[in-house]
Amino acid sequence: MNTIQVYGPGCAKCASLAEVTKQAVQELQWDVPVKKVTDPMLFASAGVLVTPALVMNGKVLLSGKVPSVEAVKGLLQEADGACQQGGCCGSREEKAESSGGCACSGGCDRKEPAESAGGCGCGEGGCCGGGKPGCGGWKKAVVWIAAVLVLLAVVKLVNRSGKESAGADTVAVPVMQEGVEAVYYQYGARCPTCVKMEGWIKEALEGSFADALKDGRLVFRSIPADAETVRHYGMTTKSLIVSNRKQGKEADWKNLERIWDLNGDEAAFKEYVVQEVRKQVDGVK
């Protein structure tokens, strides 16, 4: 049985890819659900570096774009063909007794050993049976190693955040009394797209609001989002929040969610950020 997943933080682009994929699956007349994966911690272990991404049977078919339905159908058919011809069960014609053949994304679904050493292309034992590890063993090892590395990175990040928080308790952070705050909140794993967007935001603001940044009418920060911030703004991923502060309190705010839709077009991305921030800055005397 095939497995089809769409990885993404829940942005509009991610939703579009999911819908296109569902339509492609329907036209192919496959009885396969399209699952959405939105947990950033699962992206790295799946090999997803840029979102949205389409993954079938553990293989990343595309990332960072939303192609046409026909294009997605072609990718799915190609991946399915590769699974049938060279998947974990090879070209074996016999059907598995328990599940009907190869699941490919997670090895064979067969619970009994293959009838012969070469039955599933794995050698003795192999992915289709017990006994000695076959060709699937090294793949499992790589997955476990990747998972451990991700876990270590998370622990390191938590420890560093804890130290930074402890330091913040002893150092007074000035609260903006009047003006506009543009804050890029880091939430979840740091991917290349996230880092790229942060750089574009900084460049756009420094290029269009040099005076406002200098006289304090505008402040830009890039900081990790804590649990309270996530709840307050209803965040599901990294977000650029533009807030208008009056008398030391947040008067209103806006989440510039379209940065995820425009992350493939630098000019449009920066224009959008500048336009939205200007609406707030022009209102500050």
Strand order in the sheet with 34-37: 34-37, 4-7, 53-56, 59-63
In this prediction, residue 174 carries a pLDDT of 58
Of 43-57, 75-89, 154-168, 169-183, where does the model show the most confidence? 43-57
CA distance 170 to 161: 15
Is beta strand 179-186 parallel, antiparallel or unpaired with respect to 239-246? antiparallel
pLDDT at 153 over 50: yes
Walk me through the domains of the chain, giving residue ranges and CATH numbers.
Answer: 4-136 (3.40.30.10), 179-281 (3.40.30.10)
Question: Are the C-beta atoms of 193 and 263 separated by less than 8 Å?
Answer: yes
Q: What are phi and psi of 26, to 5 degrees?
A: -65, -45
Cβ(230)–Cβ(253) below 8 Å: no
Cβ pair 179, 218 in contact under 8 A: yes
Q: What is the pLDDT of residues 94-136, one digit of tens each?
A: 333 334 444 444 444 434 443 433 444 444 444 444 444 444 5
Per-residue pLDDT at 175: 63
- 250 pLDDT exceeds 70? yes
> Rounded to a whole number, what is the distance in angstroms from the first to the last CA of the chain?
63
H/E run at residue 138: helix 136-170
Quick check: pTM over 0.75?
A: no
pLDDT of residue 253: 93
Rounded Cα gap, residues 269 and 91, in angstroms: 48
Is 83 a residue whose pLDDT tops 80?
no
Residues 247-256, mean pLDDT to the nearest whole number: 88
Checking if the pLDDT of 14 tops 60, the result is yes
pLDDT of residue 277: 94
Q: Which of 43, 60, 31 is nearest to 153 (CA)?
A: 43
Q: What is the pLDDT of residues 66-75, one digit of tens each?
A: 889 999 999 9
List, in order, residues 6 or more apart from 110 with CB less than 8 Å away: 96, 97, 98, 99, 120, 128, 129
Overall average pLDDT of the 276-280 stretch: 92
Q: How high is the pLDDT of residue 51?
A: 80
For residue 185, give the nearest of 227, 232, 221, 234 by alpha carbon. 221
Which whole number is the average pLDDT over 4-28? 88
% of residues, the chain, pLDDT over 90: 34
In whole angstroms, give the CA distance from residue 64 to residue 73.
Answer: 17
| Contact present, 51 and 64 (Cβ < 8 Å) | yes
Q: Which long-range contacts (CB under 8 A, 24 or more apart) does 104-110 make?
A: 104/2, 104/57, 104/58, 105/2, 105/3, 105/56, 105/57, 105/58, 106/3, 106/58, 107/136, 109/1
* pLDDT band at 138; cut points 50, 70, 90: low
Say what the pLDDT of residue 220 is: 94
pLDDT of residue 54: 94
Tell me, what's the pLDDT at 203?
Answer: 96
Sequence-separated (6 or more) residues with CB below 8 Å from residue 124: 117, 131, 132, 134
Mean pLDDT of 187-203: 87
